[in-house]
Amino acid sequence: MFGKVFILLLFLIFLHNDSAVGQKKKETLLSEKVTQMMEWASKRSVIRMNGDKFRRFVKAPPRNYSVVIMFTALQPQRQCGVCRQADEEFQVLANSWRYSSAFTNKVFFASVDFDEGSDVFQMLNMNSAPTFLHFPPKGKPRRTDTYELQVRGFAAEQLARWVADRTDVQIRVIRPPNYAGPLLLGFLLAVIGGLAYLRRHNLEFLFNKNVWAFSALCFVLIMTSGQMWNHIRGPPYAHKNPSTGQVSYIHGSSQAQFVAETHIVLLFNAAVTMGMVLLCEAATSDMDIGKRKIMCVAGIGLVMLFFSWLLSIFRAKYHGYPYSFLLS
């Protein structure tokens, strides 16, 4: 009887020691991983990862830190202009966190390039870039851990809000000074002032109705095409699938848009407006009847063709919209 109790006690002691050794190894491994991540972060705000690094420092436990990863395709042969733009904003965000006084090992920023970690893309069933994912300290990423790039854009400020929502880490985005805007504005004002001074004795152009009408029309076209939305949200210019190479210039959702899409809509609206102007001129002009007929036909053609294209874009974004004109 005593022999059995003694053996049981020895077994329990062995299990306890084995558990303590396992816990010690786990803590040592975690400490090594955190130390390595901190060393990389001290050299580069955005840690570059391949398949081996991703599996070891992100997928494999233990891990007590979050990792925000941008999956991208920056190689020139991929021709992903959006990836380069998103990478610049991601670098701004990572630098703002790395060089802030609140920097800790709670969050790390990393990137996986398609040409350096295609196995990671396959592992995650990912077929588009850029894509931002948050890997929490415990468990698998949820749906909300995928950044809605097409809706929110890739501006560093938008990314910072998303990171704060997922990690409770507040990052104040600090951008390097950019003097291009003020210099360009100053140059423009200087040119306008110089022209006004040279023509100070003849300022009749300021009272030209056509000049003011054209300026107002350009302003309306710019604002109605979605340029303000672009300025606020910072969407990508277009989207390119790194696997197929297909480029999309029109976003498939009514909740987002690409910069290229606003340019296309602006040109189509301008063409429709030009058609309406030609029709008005054909009806009221004093030119000979032949020229007025040409203007009328050109105006009708512009309005019908480009309005039809505008409806096609609308149908592509608002699925189920029943109406079309010329083009389906």
At residue 160 the predicted structure's pLDDT band, cuts being 50, 70 and 90, is: very high
By CB atoms closer than 10 A (0-12, 13-18, 19+), residue 93 is buried
- Asked if residue 68 lies in contact with residue 165, where contact means CB atoms within 8 angstroms, the answer is no
Q: Residue 146: beta bridge partners?
A: 133
Q: What does the pLDDT average to over 271-278?
A: 91
Q: Which candidate, 9, 152, 133, places its Cα nearest to that of 68?
A: 133
For the chain, the domains span: 1-167, 208-317
The model's confidence at residue 151, banded by pLDDT at 50, 70 and 90, is confident
Residue 69's pLDDT is: 94
Residue 116 has pLDDT above 70, yes or no: yes
Q: Supply the DSSP symbol for 327.
A: B
**Rounded CA gap, 246 and 94, in Å?**
30
When pLDDT is cut at 50, 70 and 90, the band that residue 54 belongs to is: very high
| pLDDT value, residue 284 | 85
Percentage of the residues of the chain whose pLDDT score is greater than 90: 24
How do residues 285-300 score in pLDDT, each as one tens digit? 888 888 888 889 999 9
CB 47 within 8 A of CB 111: yes
Which tens digit of pLDDT belongs to each residue from 71-97? 998 888 887 878 888 898 899 999 999
Q: What is the mean pLDDT of residues 109-134?
A: 90
Beta-strand pair 107-113/66-72: parallel
Of 13 and 235, which is predicted with more confidence? Answer: 235
Task: Report whether pLDDT(11) > 60.
Answer: no
| Mean pLDDT for the stretch of residues 182-186 | 83
Nearest to residue 30, comparing CAs of 1, 55, 59, 65? 65
Long-range contacts, stretch 265-270, CB < 8 angstroms, 24+ apart: 265/225, 265/226, 265/310, 265/313, 266/221, 266/222, 266/225, 266/227, 268/306, 268/307, 268/309, 268/310, 268/313, 269/221, 269/224, 269/225, 269/306, 269/310, 270/221
Q: Is the pLDDT of residue 324 over 80?
A: no
Fold classification of 1-167 is: Glutaredoxin (3.40.30)
Give CA–CA dist 59/301, Å, rounded. Answer: 59
| Residue 66 or 230, more confident | 66
